[in-house]
Structure 1
Amino acid sequence: MVVDTVREEQAIRQMTERLVENFGGTYSPEYIEEVVGAARRRFAGHPVRTFIPILVERYVRRQLAAAGEVADASSGPDTARTRRARHKAESGDRRLPAAVRETWSANKRFAPAAVAAVVAALVVVTVVTVALAVRQPNSAPQAAGPGVSSLALVRGVVGSEKMSFFQDPKVAEVLARNGVKVEVDAAGSREIATSVDLGKYEFAFPSSEQAAERIQRQRNVNAKYIPFSSPMAIATFKPIADLLAKSGVVHQGPVPTFDMAPYLRMVGNNTRWDQLGDNTAYSVRKNVLISTTDPRSSNSAAMYLAIAGYVANNNTIVQGTSAEQDVIPTVSRLFVGQGYTQNSSEGPFDAYLAAGMGPTPLVWIYESQFVDATVRGQVKPDMTLLYPSPTILSRHTLVPLGEEGDRIGRLLSTDPDLQRLAAEHGFRTGDATQFAKVTTEHNIPVASDLIDVITTPTFDTLERLLDGVGKSYN
């Protein structure tokens, strides 16, 4: 119960930070925190805590967005500054929007059945918008280069694991030299392919070819670009790796591997950490499970599902109704036992970096995230990277939705400076020497040659597996 409370507090804190980032131009941070607190208090004492952060975030987003729209409509051509001042004044008066007061009235309570219905409706999660500012060079503008006013604004939606790349001022500078300014929103790759409104974007950049192919079919687009890729990996800690090595799950070496077959047997037997032999490093009473994102929205978790399905299907790619139905009970256990899961790969990895091995001993990530964090000095000495055996290669695929989106795809794929910067952010590009140079300079033990790599099932097969896992949550 203590661990669950810690995870809920962590999720609420991260969610509040996202809301402040998204709505900070309209509301003060104090006001947003007050709305979150009011929403959360209505769930005090509720025995089922797993989806509380999702419920709170969804309702708060709706109320803040609705109140903002009302303010815009009633005040005419208002500005962000005046709206911020007005709502900050209201927050000082400790008042909540009428819509919030009505929703969370003391006369209204959520019955368990109602909570379940709301949870089922929250599969699609709000896209987080992040505007990326282009940093101008410190020197005076060059006559030959484009001025800020001449930059073409190009909007895209990308997987969250690529946000640090697009937020890099050096990346923005290279794009500016080519006459463009890029603004991106972050969303889970499966969301990008299934529920995000792509009509307002010039490009979509999910983390898998399967999601990209679905977008291509839906939008009748033939072109695609694969500027870089990243294998799936597991972030853990050296004491955890040593402990699992004694159980035959981890195989030590210059680049340690994580054997998925004995791990699946552990999960099937509901093995707890404190049941592992000679365990003095992490003797806690919770099941051995890798922390992932939500498979219903995130590509990284879908890749985890693809690998687990392959191993559960006698090391064969899952294909056909019979095989799908056979593996769903096994792979579902990997997810439903985790409780609350976040919607993009950035969340669990940030928790890994900040919270230590207590709540997150094993985290499913992209290799690029670990390399990127090491380059930025965020990885501590006892943190280590494991490669699942087998693993899978996530090929980040950009689908242009317009002429400017096609321009971005070409730049990311061919511009030598952007390719070099992608390697600095941990991605493997077409030039293997760039990635090798980064990992060598920072002494990061990575697999130079990926051998035990499987092919992902088709998008439709993966969708049916994900649907089967989703039903297991209910």
Structure 2
Amino acid sequence: MGARTRTLVAGVALIAVAAALAIGIALFSNAALPGQAPDTASGDASGGQSLTVVRGVIGSEKESLFADPEAKEIFARHGLDVQVTTSGSWAMAERAGIEESDFASPSSEIAAAHIEDVHGDAVLSTTRPFYSPLAIATGETVLSVLEQNGLVEQRDGVWHLDMAAYLDAVANGRRWTDLAGSEAYPSSRNVMITTTDVRSSNSALMYLSLASYVLNGNAVVTSEDAARQQATDSLARLFLDQGYSQSSSAGPWESFLSKGPMNQPLTLIYESQYLEAQMNEPTRVTDEMRICYPAPTIFSDHVVVAFSEAGQQVQDVLDNDPDMARVIARHGFRLNGSNSGVFSEQVGEAGLTGYAADGTFIDAAQAPSYEVADAMLQTIEALY
């Protein structure tokens, strides 16, 4: 082999080694350390640009929204790969390291205030992109019995439960067999709404707030001492008399869908859960099933608490993107702001009935302050 040939071979070898080193360095630099997700992901729907990974903690009732492929595609258009884990809304503030997430999204302003109280220095901003009224999943037969006893009424095709009358029935220990017309539903159980565990679940906390408001003459309890007394005298039995309660709002709802209203006659839900099922799994909502609203009802505001600029980008998409608004409404939520009409549009397009129209929630309860709600919760927890 001549000198010139040897030189050429050596040059090719050096180029090959350099290329291998470059590939190795690139692979190493893009790899995540064990147990650590990368900060960017590639191959999004908008042409292969890198996506910023955004991590959030959300209430379980929003899990299907964030898992929706269309929602993921919309986030990707904005350069975001949003990854979430679920938590009880009230427990979020106590969740270790939550402020290291990019955002948290509890299902009420009380729970959001709890996060701000514990992690205020880490909070950049809060927004309220959508909400859902508290509702009750029930059945036509059950409603017929309740109507004969003055506990419910139907107005403009929408069912409403008289909360004052219902709470009076609970206080007096009335059973279904005590009611007029109970031959249609001859259950020996107490008349009682099935809820989640008030110690950990936001829907039960909102129900607690609603009951407190009604029992206080349709006024918010403002004193912690009064809250403790009310919890002991009246509120605790709404939860303790149920026996075992599930920790997430998804639990009682799934049980209702599986077992039906004759087994679980009054189930506390978010309106969004009922509508989401009718929109996306219509065969699961039978002809016997109905949605009913407490009167007054109370709103569960879904708050987005941002801990980083990436979290604020999520806020912006949820607040302002019109395509995301339609996805949010398809999952049963009512929107705030410029997209507020999308909910009614989708209900109308789907031909669904029984839902309260926007603007008809004149009689809505107000939630107490975080401190007052916490006083109620601590009192009830001590009685378990």
**Please, what TM-score do these two structures have when normalized by structure 1?**
0.68
In the other structure, the counterpart of 2:234 is 330
Verify the 8 A CA contact 2:218 2:365 in the aligned structure 1: no
Aligned residue number for residue 204 of structure 2: 301
User: How far does the alpha carbon of each residue in 1:213-261 deviate from its partner, in whole angstroms, 9 at most, with x for none?
Assistant: 2222332224111111111111111111111111111112311110111
- 2:127–2:315 Cα contact (<8 Å) kept: yes
Contact 2:196–2:204, Cα closer than 8 Å, also in 1:
yes
For 1:208 and 1:338, how far apart are their aligned partners in 2?
23
Decide which of 346, 357, 361 is 1:450's aligned counterpart: 361
CA distance in 2, matches of 1:239, 1:212: 38
Distance 1:217 1:470, change over 3 A: closer
Call closer, same or farther: CA 1:193–1:199 in 2, change over 3 Å.
closer
Cα pair 2:124 2:306 within 8 Å, conserved: no
1:272 counterpart = 2:272: no
Tell me which residue corresponds to 1:53. none
Structure 1 ranges of 4+ moved more than 6 A:
none
Task: Quote the residue 1:92 is aligned against.
Answer: none
Indicate the percent of aligned positions where both proteins have the same amino acid: 40
Q: Trace 1:286-365 onto structure 2 (pairs within 5 A).
A: 286-328=189-231, 329-365=233-269
**Structure 1 unaligned blocks of 5 or more:** 1-78, 81-133
Residues 231 and 392 in structure 1, CA contact (< 8 A), matched pair in contact too: yes
What is the aligned partner in structure 2 of residue 410 from structure 1?
316
* Equivalent in 255, 269, 282 of residue 185 of structure 2: 282
Rate the CA distance shift 1:435–1:180 in 2: closer, same or farther, 3 A.
Answer: same
The answer for the alignment partner of 1:164 in structure 2 is 64
Give the one of 345, 349, 353 matched to 1:441: 349
* Structure 2 CA distance for aligned equivalents of residues 301 and 199 of structure 1: 25
Secondary structure of the corresponding residue to residue 453 of structure 1:
coil
- In structure 1, what residue type is equivalent to 2:368? P
C-alpha displacement at 1:164, in angstroms?
1.2
Map 1:82-121 to 2 at 5 A: none
How far off its partner does 1:322 sit?
3.9
Residue 433 of structure 1, CA deviation: 2.1
The Cα shift of 1:200 comes to 4.0
How many matched pairs? 335
Shift of 1:292: 0.6
Residue segments in structure 2 that go unaligned for 5+ positions in a row: 1-33, 36-40
Partners of 1:313 and 1:323 within 8 A in 2: no
**For residue 471 of structure 1, what is the amino acid of its counterpart?**
A
SS in 1 for 2:228: helix
State how far apart, in whole Å, the 1-side matches of 2:208 and 2:96 are.
Answer: 22
1:92-129 deviation line (CA, Å, top 9, x unaligned): xxxxxxxxxxxxxxxxxxxxxxxxxxxxxxxxxxxxxx
Higher relative contact order (CA 8 A, sep 6+): 2
List aligned pairs for 1:186-265, cutoff 5 A. 186-219=86-119, 220=121, 221-253=123-155, 254-265=157-168
Q: Please state how far the C-alpha of 1:196 moved relative to its aligned partner.
A: 4.8
The whole-number CA distance in structure 2 between the counterparts of 1:426 and 1:177 is 23
One-letter identity of the residue aligned with 2:349: E
1:320 and 1:195 mapped to 2: Cα distance? 28
Query: 1:238 and 1:197, CA in 2 relative to 1: closer, same or farther beyond 3 A?
Result: farther
> CA–CA distance in 2 between the matches of 1:381 and 1:358?
13
Q: Which stretch shows the higher mean deviation, 426-435 or 285-294? A: 426-435
Return the structure number with greater strand share: 2
**Alignment RMSD:** 2.0
Asked if 1:388 corresponds to 2:294, the answer is yes
- Counterpart CA distance in 1 for 2:228 and 2:52 is 49
State the distance in 1 between where 2:333 and 2:319 align: 12
Provide the rounded CA distance (Å) in 1 between the counterparts of 2:335 and 2:99: 29
Does residue 424 of the first structure (1) align with residue 330 of the second (2)? Answer: yes
- What amino acid maps onto 2:168 in structure 1? R
SS at match of 1:426: coil
**Letter paired with 2:187:** V
Deviations 1:367-398 (A, max 9, x none): 11111111011311111111101111111100
Q: Tell me how far 1:441 sits from its aligned partner.
A: 2.1
